[in-house]
Amino acid sequence: MEHQTDRKPNFPPRVLFFPLPAQGHINAMLHLAELLAMADIDVTFLNTDHVQGQLQQRAHIQAKYAAYSGFLFRTIPDGLPKDEPRSGEQSILRVLNSMLKTTKPILKDMLLSGGVLGSDRSPYVTCIMADGIFGSLANEIGDELNIPVIHFRTISACCFWIYFAIPDIIKAGELPIRGDEDMDRIITRVPGMEAILRCRDLPSFAQIRDVEDPQLHRIVEVTRQSARAHALILNTFEDLEGPILNHIRTQCPKTYTIGPLHALLKHKLTKRLLSTTRSSKSIFEEDRSCIAWLDSQPLKSVIYISFGSLTVMTRDTLMEFWHGLVNSNKRFLWVMREDMVTGEDSEIPPELVAATKERGCLVGWAPQEEVLAHPSVGGFLTHSGWNSTLESIVAEVPMICWPNAIDQTINSRYVGEVWKVGMDMKGHKCDREIVAKMVNDLMVEKREEFQRCTAEMARLAKISIDEGGSSYCNLDQLIEDLRSVQQ
- Which residues of the chain form contacts with ligand UDX (CB under 6 A)? 22-25, 27, 154-155, 282, 306, 308-310, 335, 365-366, 368-369, 385-388, 391, 406-408
Exposed / middle / buried, residue 294 (Cβ in 10 Å: 0-12, 13-18, 19+): buried
| Least Cβ distance, residue 350 to ligand UDX (angstroms) | 27
Give CA–CA dist 275/448, Å, rounded.
33
Give CA–CA dist 179/184, Å, rounded.
11
Give CA–CA dist 485/46, Å, rounded.
20
Q: Which C-beta is closer to ligand UDX: that of 47 or that of 368?
A: 368
Q: Which C-beta is closer to ligand UDX: that of 238 or that of 391?
A: 391
Give CA–CA dist 80/97, Å, rounded.
10
| Least Cβ distance, residue 104 to ligand UDX (angstroms) | 22
Catalytic residues, which ones?
Answer: 25, 131
Q: Which C-beta is closer to ligand UDX: that of 122 or that of 411?
A: 411
Angle between helices 470-485 and 447-465 (to 10 degrees): 40
Q: Which C-beta is closer to ligand UDX: that of 306 or that of 464?
A: 306
| Least Cβ distance, residue 306 to ligand UDX (angstroms) | 4
Non-local (6+) Cβ contacts of 232 within 8 A are 132, 150, 151, 153, 226, 248, 252, 254, 255, 256
| Least Cβ distance, residue 365 to ligand UDX (angstroms) | 4
Element (H, E) at 26: helix 23-38
**Measured at the alpha carbon of residue 148, what is the angle toward residues 23 and 236, in degrees to the nearest 5?**
45
Non-local (6+) Cβ contacts of 479 within 8 A are 36, 39, 41
Q: Which C-beta is closer to ligand UDX: that of 153 or that of 323?
A: 153
Q: Is 41 helix (H, G, I), strand (E, B) or coil?
A: coil
CB atoms within 10 A of CB 183: 16
**Measured at the alpha carbon of residue 163, what is the angle toward residues 157 and 165, in degrees to the nearest 5?**
100
| Least Cβ distance, residue 162 to ligand UDX (angstroms) | 13
Q: Which C-beta is closer to ligand UDX: that of 225 or that of 282?
A: 282
Give CA–CA dist 285/101, Å, rounded.
31
| Least Cβ distance, residue 285 to ligand UDX (angstroms) | 10
Query: DSSP letters of 288-356?
Result: THHHHHHHTS-TT-EEEEE-TTT--EEHHHHHHHHHHHHHTT-EEEEE--TTSEES---PPPHHHHHHH
CB atoms within 10 A of CB 214: 8
| Least Cβ distance, residue 384 to ligand UDX (angstroms) | 7
Q: Which C-beta is closer to ligand UDX: that of 125 or that of 366?
A: 366
Residue type, 65: Y
280 phi-psi bin (left φ>0, alpha ψ -120 to 50, beta other) = beta
Q: Which C-beta is closer to ligand UDX: that of 360 or that of 385?
A: 385
Give CA–CA dist 305/435, Å, rounded.
12
Query: DSSP letters of 231-256?
Result: EEEES--HHHHHHHHHHHHHH-SSEE
| Least Cβ distance, residue 369 to ligand UDX (angstroms) | 6
